[in-house]
Amino acid sequence: MNKRRCGILLHITSLPSPYGIGDFGATAYKFVDFLAETRQSLWQILPLNQTCTVYGNSPYSSYSAFAGNHLMISPDFLVQEGILSKSDIDGHTIFPNERVDYKIVTDYKERILRVAYKNIHRKLGKDFEFERFCNENAYWLDDYALFIGLKEHFHGVAWSDWPEDLRNRKDEVIKDWKEKMNDRILMEKFFQFLFFKQWFSLKKYCNSKNIQIIGDIPIYVTYDSADVWAKPEIFKLDNAKKPMLVAGVPPDYFSATGQLWGNPVYDWDILKETGYSWWLRRIEYNLKRYDIIRLDHFRGFVSYWEIQAGEKTAVNGRWVTTPVKDFFDTLYRHFPSLPIIAEDLGEEIPPEVREIMSIFGIPGMKVLLYAFGEDLPTNPFIPHNYTKCCVVYTGTHDNNTTKGWYKKETSPNDRNRIQQYLGREVTEDNIHREFIRLAMMSVANMVVLPMQDILGLGEESRMNFPATSENNWEWRLLPEQITPTLIKDLKETTVIYSRE
């Protein structure tokens, strides 16, 4: 993380694929080849967690902090392995190419995965690789597979409304349900086995091309998840195991009423008493999945905004401090060379956050879309104020594209400041190229560019609108958008600014 490097931000679901959503198939490997050809050494993705339509398909809202998204499993590779036949995956609806239709994709993928399980389930007991996967991941996989089976059985009802003995995880009740749902549990474990087998194959290919994966860890977990059901003691819940206090952020750049995420907040006193064992396992697990970790909402590890459950907005909350120094001391004792990037955006970041980042040498994020306000000379996001220890982005998955931002969100004064800073004419047609050049020539060690900005796409191609739950996470890359000219230009820019 101390060398001049660059890469691309593109989530797996945005990759081209004939099955309605990006997956771990052949086009993912082609994208890695594109990264290598253009001398990129980083590929940043969003969380790989299981998503669901109930939570707007957000990778930041999942039934598990550990389970992978089975929608990313490649049908073609299952055919190659002999788990499915070509006829099993054919005859599907014609999927749209430019957007993900999650309902259609989910119905299709779950149907063919169930067929795959039916075809092979009798052999799983003799499959050493599958058995080893289940044993190594039992600490989360057993609870997750049972949780998913119970969610189906109770027609999607939240775990807090299940029968009391099951909600409270009475040993004999859990044992009985595991026996009742043995087949469904095995099937869910099989889906996770396929997911991780394909993911680690892709990661190995990336690493063979000297490309590292930057993975994203959401700070919080979803209340209706296997994590909270299995470990309620580490969250601030009431006697009925309902959240007393929930997470969010106060009013900021993205929302005048703040963001009411609704996730249960951690009981940091309990976490400390247990030696942060849950977080240690989560970090260890993600260090296997990725090469570098981006900690989402890093500020929340120092002090977090908690809101009384039942509030309609995030306005009426309060900041609560954590044992942050002790926490990171513990992490670094277990993982001395922990490769972390801090997502330190949003509300005004207090000095104690910067202090922790400085003590542990954790780079933060610099976003060019935030750089050209009235405070330009002293703005921390403007390139002349960068240090080497940071990661520069034109924008993130939560922002408009650079072109969309310039067209819709900048004032005449903003545009004038951009032109003054660059010393030349800037237009809607060239703003993305100018920002890419600014990022690449900066002193920052690492640069990550959203694929949409490399392509010069407009607002219609943004990935997420924060504080909304519809029509997000759907954008997809089209194969024809990667042209010889684009490859040549990106490679030249990478080489000339010494980011190979």
Q: What is the pLDDT of residues 417-428, one digit of tens each?
A: 999 999 999 999
CA quadruple 284, 287, 288, 290: dihedral sign: positive
Using a pLDDT cut of 90, give the percent of the chain over it. Answer: 94
172-175-176-178 Cα dihedral, nearest 10 degrees: 160
pLDDT reported for residue 258: 87
pLDDT of 201 strictly over 90: yes
Q: CATH number of the domain that 285 lies in?
A: 3.20.20.80
Average of pLDDT values for 339-354? 91
Using a pLDDT cut of 70, give the percent of the chain over it. Answer: 99
pLDDT reported for residue 347: 65
- 66: which DSSP letter? S
184's tokens: 């469904």
**Strand duo 303-308 + 364-367: pairing:** unpaired
pLDDT reported for residue 1: 79
227 lies in a domain? yes
315's tokens: 């306005």
Average of pLDDT values for 121-134? 95
Average of pLDDT values for 436-444? 98
Edge to edge, the sheet with strand 390-393 lists 340-342, 292-295, 212-217, 42-44, 5-9, 446-450, 390-393, 364-367
pLDDT reported for residue 346: 74
**Strand duo 292-295 + 212-217: pairing:** parallel
Residues 240-265 pLDDT 10s: 999 999 999 888 766 789 889 999 99
pTM: 0.96
199 lies in a domain? no
* Overall number of domains in the chain: 1
Average of pLDDT values for 340-366? 93
Which residues are marked as active site?
Answer: 296, 343, 398
489 lies in a domain? yes
15 lies in a domain? yes
266 lies in a domain? yes
pLDDT of 93 strictly over 90: no
- Spatial CB neighbours of 40, under 8 Å, sequence gap ≥ 6: 6, 7, 8, 211, 490, 494
Contact 323, 272 (CB under 8 A): yes
Residues 301-316 pLDDT 10s: 999 999 999 999 999 9
117 lies in a domain? no
pLDDT of 47 strictly over 70: yes
How far, CA to CA in Å, does 471 sit from each of 56, 273, 312, 327, 463? 8, 42, 22, 37, 9
Structural domain boundaries enclosing 472 = 5-70+208-496
Of the two residues 53 and 294, the one the predictor is more confident about is 294
383 lies in a domain? yes
180 lies in a domain? no
